Structure formats: structure tokens, C-alpha cells
Amino acid sequence: MRKGFILFLLLLQFVCVADAQTSDSIMAAHLRSRGINITDGNSVRLLKTGHEKFADMFEAVRNAKSFIHLEYFNFRNDSIAGLLFHLLAQKAAEGVEVRALYDAFGNASNNQPIDSHMHDSINALGIHLVKFSPLTFPWVTRIIPRDHRKIVVIDGEVAYTGGMNVADYYINGIPEIGDWHDMHIHIEGPAVNELHEIFRCMWRKATGEDLSDEKYFPKGQNQMENQRLAIVDRHAGITPDAIRDLFAEMLNTAQHQVLIVNPYFVPTHRVRKALKRAIDRGVSVQILLSAKSDIPLTPEASHYVGNNLSKRGAKVYLFHGGFHHTKIMMVDDLYCTVGSSNMDARSLRCDYEVNTVIFSKKTTAELTDLFHEQLKSSTPMEKGYWRTRSFGKKFQGWFGNLLTPFL
């Protein structure tokens, strides 16, 4: 009788431990095992449109007292960037330190780049503007890696990160593809210093200036809400597998549902395997892809992958309400990630990227609601979808996947 009772207690303990191993707790343990810090006491606000992002960020810029630090893939030479630099110049005139870093390739690859004259003019306004990794001869050797992050830190108290650069099309869209959809987040709390450390390292790499003074990293930030965050940084030379590992483990540990929105969906081998394993063990995998893209070849390459996953059991949708540049994943209604990382080889193997993992049912529910709202402007990718495509579109999809290591 006594042995039976002890066996019952052991079995009960095993069941309780198993129940406690939800996907978010498994992921938190995984991140800690990789040396990634998880901070409590943060607040997160989703900025779901360009209007929301720039209105929120510009207000924080106006209220800056000590410093404003920006790191972007590109600043497009248009009206919204002009307004931002005007505000930054005003703050610089007030004595606020302003440093801004942008990627040379990201600048050159957009059709309204900051030219050398504008660059010098901005610096003359008291803004320390720096181009990361300029393309000098032989420039082809410096295309990889690029700085694809989007980070803004103000006074060590407020931070912004996500998928949006600085451009008018986040507000006005692009005639050829329609509205431009994306996601950014406003963060307050201890995670701000985590993002600022990423900027500090990149600024030192680009300029040699070390911003390690304690004024840039205030201690004892006010506990805002009880949001638990992890900042996952892909540094090309230090943490090259960080984002690939994050995506794969989110898929590997999912127990019920995974929702994905990503603009350039040509995952590397490890992430594809994780997607297939999730589908095979009965996880509901739902993926929202854009019907159109701003880059040739990528929509068909993404649809090729989506079609294969659809045949395996995933639910894949094509979004027709413009272009979705959003990079989010939600798991089991428990936690999510928002970031700069595409699901392609450049983001997962090459570029500097940053994603925020948000352990919050509330924020995850907000993103899940957005996902389902966007399905109203989408059509499901039926199993016979690929057969209806023209030979040219099929070839583009097949050929694009051959180029997966380079996309």
C-alpha cells in the first residue's frame, strides 16, 4: 500500500512537471541556455502602421533630454525622413546628443538614397550621421553582411524596434503594390538597455567611439508593466545562428498553433525542417504571404515554399491588401516575436538583425487578432494552386528556391 502511494505521488509529480512545460517556458529556458538575457518589468506597445510608429516616435524625440540614438537599414530621402532630421536638428541645437547609423548598401539599394551632399548637410546640423560599411572598391566583397536592424533609443528610457525603416511608403503605400503593412514596437523598461547595447557595439564598430558611460545605460529603470522580454541579436561575427536558432526552436517547441507573417519566405534548411516537423506532429501552422512583393522573384519563390507546406498540411494564405513587410510569429497564444528578420538566408545567415521575444498573452492576442483581421483580405492557397500558375511563374518559383542561399 505504501509503495503504491509513493508511486502515485511520483506519477502525479511527473504529470504536474509535464503540464508546466508549456512552449513559452521551454523557450525561456532555451534562450537562457544560449546566454540571452530575459528581463521583467517592461511595457510593450504595438505600432501597427506607419502613422502610429512615426507619431509615437516623433513625440518621444521631441521629449528627449540627453541623447537620441538611431540605427536603420536605410533612411529614404523623402518627406518623413526630412521631418525626422528636422526634429533631430532641433534637439541637437538644444544640446541633446544625436547619433544616427544607416547601412551603406541599404541606402544605395533604395530609389531615393541619401546622397553625399545631403549626408554632409545633416552632419552640419549637429547630427552625427554615419554610414555603416561604405561600398568601396572592390565593393562586391562588402555586400555581406549588412546592418538590417531598426533600433531607436531615447535617453535610455524608450526604445523602438521592429520591421520599419524611415520612408513615406509606410504611410502612403506604393502605387505598384498598394498599402505597405509592417509592425514596430515601443518599449520601456529594462529591455531598453539590451537594445542600446546592440547600438553601442555597432556604433563602436562603425566609428571607434565607445559609448560605455553610465549615462547611456541608466540603472533602475521604472518597472512599467510586467512584460517579460528577450532581445535576440544576430551579430554576424559573434552570434551568427541566433535568429535561425530562435525561429527553429519556436517551431520545434510549439504544441498547438503557430501563426507566421513574413515578407520574404524562403527559409533555410533548418527552419524548413522545423516547419515540417511541427505540421507532422499536428501543430496548426498558418502562414500569411503577400501576393505581391517589392522585390522581383521573391513572391514566386515564397509561394513555391508555401505550396509545398500547404500540401503537407499547413494553412497558407495569400494577402491581397497591399504588401506585408511584417515579420512576426505567434506560438500557442502564449508568446510571440517581432523583429527585423526575414525568413530568408540573408537574415538567417548573413545580416545583422534583432528580434524581440515577448512573453505576453496580451500582446500575442493582439497580434493574433491582427492576423485574423488580415485574413479578410486574403485567399487560402488551395492544394491545386501551383497547377494554375503559368510556366513562367512556376519557373520563377523553382529557380528562386535554387537561389535560396542568396535571397
Q: How confident is the model at residue 81 (pLDDT cuts 50, 70, 90)?
A: very high
- Domain-embedded: residue 359: yes
Taking only the tens place, the pLDDT of each residue in 337-367 is 999 999 999 899 999 999 999 999 999 999 9
Taking only the tens place, the pLDDT of each residue in 230-288 is 999 999 889 999 999 999 999 999 999 999 999 999 999 999 999 999 999 999 999 99
Q: Averaged over 54-61, what is the pLDDT? A: 99
CATH number at residue 58: 3.30.870.10
Q: How far apart are CA 130 and CA 165, in angstroms?
A: 16
- Domain-embedded: residue 110: yes
Q: Averaged over 313-326, what is the pLDDT? A: 97
Q: How far apart are CA 340 and CA 202, in angstroms?
A: 16
282 vs 299, which has greater pLDDT?
A: 282
Q: How far apart are CA 267 and CA 297, in angstroms?
A: 15
- Domain-embedded: residue 5: no
Q: Which domain holds residue 190?
A: 23-406
Torsion on CA atoms 260, 262, 265, 267, rounded to nearest 10: -60
Beta-bridge partner residues of 357: 230, 337
Contact between 162 and 182 under an 8 Å Cβ cutoff? The reply is yes
Task: Evaluate if residue 11 carries a pLDDT over 70.
Answer: no
- Domain-embedded: residue 156: yes
- Domain-embedded: residue 280: yes
- Domain-embedded: residue 3: no
Nearest of 250, 263, 405, 233 to residue 324 by alpha carbon: 263
Q: How confident is the model at residue 6 (pLDDT cuts 50, 70, 90)?
A: very low
Helix (H) or strand (E) holding 158: strand 158-162
- Domain-embedded: residue 387: yes
How many domains, in total, are found in the chain?
Answer: 1
- Domain-embedded: residue 14: no
CA atoms within 13 A on the CB side of 109: 15
Mean pLDDT of the chain: 91
Contact between 310 and 385 under an 8 Å Cβ cutoff? The reply is yes
Q: How far apart are CA 39 and CA 224, in angstroms?
A: 12
